[in-house]
Amino acid sequence: MSVNKNSKLVLERFLPYRLSYLTNIISRKLARLYSDQFDITTHEWKILATLNRHPNISAANAGEKTAMDKVAVSRAIKGLCDKGLVHKIFSKEDRRRSVLNMTEEGEAIYSRIEPLVTEYENSLLAILNSQELSQLDHLLDKMTAHVTSD
């Protein structure tokens, strides 16, 4: 066990630092998959992936599902609409509420990006055996539940 418990601070072994180091590398590589070829930002990609699973949701709903704040959601949707990848109308019942869907072009681009992204995830998971996979899953859930509980 060489996590940094109860010792003087050593940055390289400090859990928050190690997590953010790993996460930043992964996020950057992932972002290249859609930013290089498709001119899509990370926020935009998260909205697309959310619309793929949940058509007809509102911006606020998309924000909840992605843990993005409403300004980031608004900007991502604007970007996607400008590019013609998402279609936005406002609900008849509640005219504050947006109703979002991918356009055909959005679907087309989504279906080209998704395999790249999934493949990248698989390449990460492939280095772990099934025991390690379930450990990772458990640890992420446990830590996330903990830091989220307040």
Partner DNA sequence: TTATTATAGTTACAAATGAAACTTTTTTCA
Partner DNA sequence: TGAAAAAAGTTTCATTTGTAACTATAATAA
Binding to a copy of itself by residue 12, rule CB under 8 A?
yes
- The strand ranges marked E within the chain are 86-90, 98-102
**What is the spatial distance between Cα 149 and Cα 51, in angstroms, rounded to a whole number?**
27
Single out the residue of 43, 65, 75, 87 in contact with a copy of itself (rule: CB under 8 A): 65
Buried residues in 90-128 as b, exposed as e (16+ CB within 10 A)? eeeeeeeebbbebeeebeebbeebeeeeeeeeeeeeeee
Site string for a copy of itself, 73-112 (x = CB under 8 A): ----------------------------------------
Whether the CB-CB separation of 136 and 144 falls below 8 Å is answered with no
Binding to a copy of itself by residue 38, rule CB under 8 A?
no
Specify the stretch interacting with a copy of itself by CB under 8 A; choose among 64-72, 74-82, 83-91, 100-108: 64-72
Q: Which parts of this chain interact with a copy of itself (CB under 8 A)?
A: 1-12, 14-23, 25-27, 29-30, 46, 49-50, 52-53, 65-67, 114, 117-118, 120-122, 124-125, 127-128, 130, 132-140, 142-144, 146-148
